[in-house]
Structure 1
Amino acid sequence: MRKPTGLERLYVDFDSFFASAEQHLQPHLRGRPVGIIPVDSEHTGLIAVSREAKALGLKRGTFVRDARRQCPGLVLVTARHEVYVDLHKTIIAAIETVLPVKAVCSIDEMLCALLPSESAQGLALGRRVKEAVASRIGPTLTCSVGLGPNDLLAKIAAEMHKPDGLVALHPDDLPGPLLSLELTDVPGIARGNAARLARAGIGDMAALWRVQPKELRRLWGSVEGERLWMGLHGYTVERPETRRRMFGHGRVLPADWRSLGGAYAAARVLLAKASRRMRRAGFAAKALALWLTNRNSAGWYGEEHFQPTWDDPSLLASLSRLFLHAEREEMHSSRSVHVALHDLVPLQEIEDDLFDAAPEAQLKRRMEYLSAIADQLNVSYRKTLLHWGPWVTIPGGYAGAKIAFNRIPDAEDF
């Protein structure tokens, strides 16, 4: 375990990214309160709000009908994920005129490593990053930059003086600047964890700083508690490389799609998108899971297990069987639908007997070949030209190509 004595990480966190991106791309939105919505519907919530909207009290997650009431001048814009991904790539190129990007943490957060010779120039490098973004992209899209001895403290620093901030947390200054934060200002401490800490008598950052690492591990119920302690105290924290666990997609369904038939039509599209991503990443799945939910987030869950499979016809047949089970168990409607391919196996680990002449084996190989051909055509034309069975357009678009916190879609997803 190593404890750096200087600044080794520079964290870039863009301010109100989706909303600022739209104001950057559509100049008539600048200076106006803007809310970004996932689909054009009154029954959805805001996924991002501009600084002007935040100043009026609007928050992410506010339902559209409540947001209109709270802010009559609010401009609603439906998210354009493919545009944000293109802008993200331009941002990376701008930052790398100053420093190499070590890790992309999300669509609007990037981490850079500082060399020992660069540590003393950390704040100056942070200013240069901000200037590079402003000059190459424009002044509307601002970022906050944080510097620290490790990833966690650099991220905390980036969030301390938003928007457009520049903060360094030097190891010699700890814990001073941290003591004014709320527990939930620390990445990894959500309200549930904060409540658990409060029950243990840890109600503020000073108390959290004093607790011992093994005690924090016990309270967390995992090694993550100890890693959090080490990060806050300035140690470098090495995390084991994670292995891909699943490929999945989900959608809240429009009101007129909430029958079991509507959920099935949407699930077929979502599964086709997920299986396409899985094949591109070089995996097959041994299980398919399906969730159907009602307005109380209850509903139906089922899964089917099989030999390693990656062709669309086989996976869609499995999905059909799961929906038949749901129907037999009197699941007649669904507010949302989610599918997930899991128990993944790398394709290179699958042993295929090329001399197996059984009709089932030959059909399976043929379906795998056709699925690969379909992927190539669909990627080449950037649209779904070839598919198995009915294909529908789900209102709102972006089936399988939405930006998630830790996933940036590839160009092939759109």
Structure 2
Amino acid sequence: MRKPSGLERLYVDFDSFFASAEQHLQPRLRGRPVGVIPIASEHTGLIAASREAKALGIKRGTFVRDARRLCPALILVTARHELYVNLHRAIIAAIETVLPVKAVCSIDEMVCALLPSEQTEAVTVAQRVKAAITSEIGPTLTCSMGLGPNELLAKIAAEMEKPDGLVALHPDSLPGPLLSLSLSDVPGIAKGNAARLARAGIADMAALWRIQPKELRRLWGSVEGERLWMGLHGYAVERPETQRRMFGHGRVLPADWRHLGGAYACARMLLAKAASRMRRAGFSARALALWLTDRQSAGWYAEERFQPTWDDPSLLASLAGLFRHAERELPRGPSRSVHVTLHDLVPLKDIEEDLFGDTPEAQVRRRLESLSVLVDRLNTHHGRRLLHWGPWTHIPGGYAGAKIAFNRIPDAEDF
């Protein structure tokens, strides 16, 4: 395992990105407490809070009613995901006037690799990146930056001095700067893993540093524990490329849609968007899953399995069958949200044609597949949902499907 001797990675982490993006896009919001909500509803939680709102105790996940109590002057803005994606692309372009972006970690986090000649002046290079963002985008969107021998330590460094900070964790200084952190400051140590460490007598960073890599692997129950140890100790850790496992969307239902009819109309839209994404990525699915949840996130689940399928009419027919099943088992209907997922994926290039496949059913299936691709192309060309299969009802309250997730940035076609 290679152990770098210099600062090989620069991690860029934007501060309160969604809220800062709204302040950037709407100058009237600058300097004022702003909360971004996923849908236009008073019965939801914030997905972002500006630094002015954070100073008043409002944070991501705070319910609207609690946020208003903490700050009656709070300005609520419904998330505008397509604008954030456009801004993200402009940020990437600004960074790449100085350094190429090695990997995009999320909508507001990216990592750059420094060449040996750049590592000797890493702090200066990072300052040039900050200046490029200010020049190309503007001063409202600030970012915290971290420098380290690997991505994990660079990410930890970026979190150490927020907002608008710049911290370098040089391998020669370890573990010194890390010892003042809590275990929860380390990416990957959530409540479950923290509890597991505590049971093993590991309650602080000093104890975590002393543990052996194989022991941390045993406590984690996977190789991720050993990778965490290697990262913290300054080794270069290369992760295997992840494989796509599913395409799906979920939506909190508006108050007057919290019945099976409303959930079905919403699920049709979510499934159509997920299926379009799946086709663009070159996959078909062998299973469709449906969740209908209540306020406690419990609820009803079912799935249907089939031969590799990627056309809209067939997938929508399977969804209709799942809802007929829900009608029998869930008479009162959902009370909160609906989720659909296409999984057990098969690359389209790996699907073998049936030797006896020239049947009327096979001909219909191929025709539906061709029509689904044609609908995708027309909708993309016109930039809107021009054609669709069956009813397409507008859902009040904001976006359906085209949302930014932590590990997914929507394509332009998703909107």
Q: State whether TM-score is above 0.5.
A: yes
Tell me what 2:398 maps to. 397
Segments of 5+ residues of structure 2 without an aligned counterpart are none
Tell me what 1:109 maps to. 109
- Is 1:409 matched up with 2:410? yes
Does the CA-based 8 Å contact 1:33-1:73 persist in structure 2? yes
Count of aligned residue pairs for this structure pair: 414
Does the CA-based 8 Å contact 2:39-2:399 persist in structure 1? no
Q: Give the whole-Å Cα distance in 2 for the aligned partners of 1:319 and 1:400.
A: 16
Does the CA-based 8 Å contact 1:6-1:119 persist in structure 2? yes
Tell me what 1:340 maps to. 341
Tell me what 1:63 maps to. 63
Identity of aligned residues (%): 80
Tell me what 1:380 maps to. 381
Tell me what 2:224 maps to. 224
Q: Tell me the CA shift for residue 357 of structure 1.
A: 3.1
Does the CA-based 8 Å contact 2:49-2:59 persist in structure 1? yes
Q: Tell me the CA shift for residue 244 of structure 1.
A: 0.4
- Secondary structure class of the residue paired with 2:101: coil
Q: Give the whole-Å Cα distance in 2 for the aligned partners of 1:30 and 1:358.
A: 64
Q: Which amino acid aligns with 1:26?
A: Q
* 1:81-129 Cα deviation digits (max 9, x unpaired): 0000000011001100110000000001010001111111110011001
- Secondary structure class of the residue paired with 1:98: coil
Q: Which amino acid aligns with 1:98?
A: V
- Is 1:142 matched up with 2:142? yes
Q: Tell me the CA shift for residue 269 of structure 1.
A: 0.4
- Secondary structure class of the residue paired with 1:102: strand
Q: Tell me the CA shift for residue 59 of structure 1.
A: 1.0
Does the CA-based 8 Å contact 1:294-1:333 persist in structure 2? no
Tell me what 1:261 maps to. 261
Q: Give the whole-Å Cα distance in 2 for the aligned partners of 1:14 and 1:357.
A: 55
Q: Give the whole-Å Cα distance in 2 for the aligned partners of 1:382 and 1:313.
A: 22
- Secondary structure class of the residue paired with 2:90: helix
- Is 1:281 matched up with 2:281? yes
Under a length normalisation based on structure 2, what TM-score does the superposition of the two structures give? 0.98
Instruction: Trace 1:3-18 onto structure 2 (pairs within 5 A).
Output: 3-18=3-18
Does the CA-based 8 Å contact 2:78-2:398 persist in structure 1? no
Tell me what 2:248 maps to. 248
* 1:149-185 Cα deviation digits (max 9, x unpaired): 0000000001100000000000000000001111111
Q: Which amino acid aligns with 1:48?
A: A
Q: Give the whole-Å Cα distance in 1 for the aligned partners of 2:331 and 2:156.
A: 45
Segment drifting more, 394-403 vs 2-11: 394-403
Q: Tell me the CA shift for residue 398 of structure 1.
A: 2.0
- Is 1:236 matched up with 2:236? yes
Q: Which amino acid aligns with 1:257?
A: W
Would the alpha carbon gap of residues 411 and 354 (structure 1) be closer, same or farther in structure 2, given more than 3 Å must change?
farther
Q: Give the whole-Å Cα distance in 1 for the aligned partners of 2:332 and 2:279.
A: 32
Q: Which amino acid aligns with 2:189?
A: I
Q: Tell me the CA shift for residue 326 of structure 1.
A: 1.3
Tell me what 1:308 maps to. 308
Tell me what 1:318 maps to. 318
- Secondary structure class of the residue paired with 1:395: coil
Q: Give the whole-Å Cα distance in 2 for the aligned partners of 1:122 and 1:73.
A: 42
Q: Give the whole-Å Cα distance in 2 for the aligned partners of 1:242 and 1:56.
A: 39
* 1:33-66 Cα deviation digits (max 9, x unpaired): 0000011111000000000001111111011111
Q: Tell me the CA shift for residue 392 of structure 1.
A: 1.0
Q: Which amino acid aligns with 1:411?
A: A
Does the CA-based 8 Å contact 2:40-2:398 persist in structure 1? no
- Secondary structure class of the residue paired with 2:121: helix
Instruction: Trace 1:70-109 onto structure 2 (pairs within 5 A).
Output: 70-109=70-109
- Secondary structure class of the residue paired with 2:247: strand
Q: Give the whole-Å Cα distance in 1 for the aligned partners of 2:36 and 2:296.
A: 25
* 1:120-157 Cα deviation digits (max 9, x unpaired): 11100110010111111111111111000000000000
Q: Which amino acid aligns with 2:376?
A: D
- Secondary structure class of the residue paired with 1:146: strand
- Secondary structure class of the residue paired with 1:404: coil
Q: Tell me the CA shift for residue 210 of structure 1.
A: 0.6
Segments of 5+ residues of structure 1 without an aligned counterpart are none
Q: Which amino acid aligns with 1:234?
A: G
Tell me what 2:368 maps to. 367
- Is 1:290 matched up with 2:290? yes
Does the CA-based 8 Å contact 1:247-1:274 persist in structure 2? yes
Q: Give the whole-Å Cα distance in 2 for the aligned partners of 1:52 and 1:152.
A: 29
Tell me what 1:128 maps to. 128
Under a length normalisation based on structure 1, what TM-score does the superposition of the two structures give? 0.98
RMSD (Å) for aligned C-alpha atoms: 1.0
Q: Give the whole-Å Cα distance in 2 for the aligned partners of 1:145 and 1:408.
A: 21
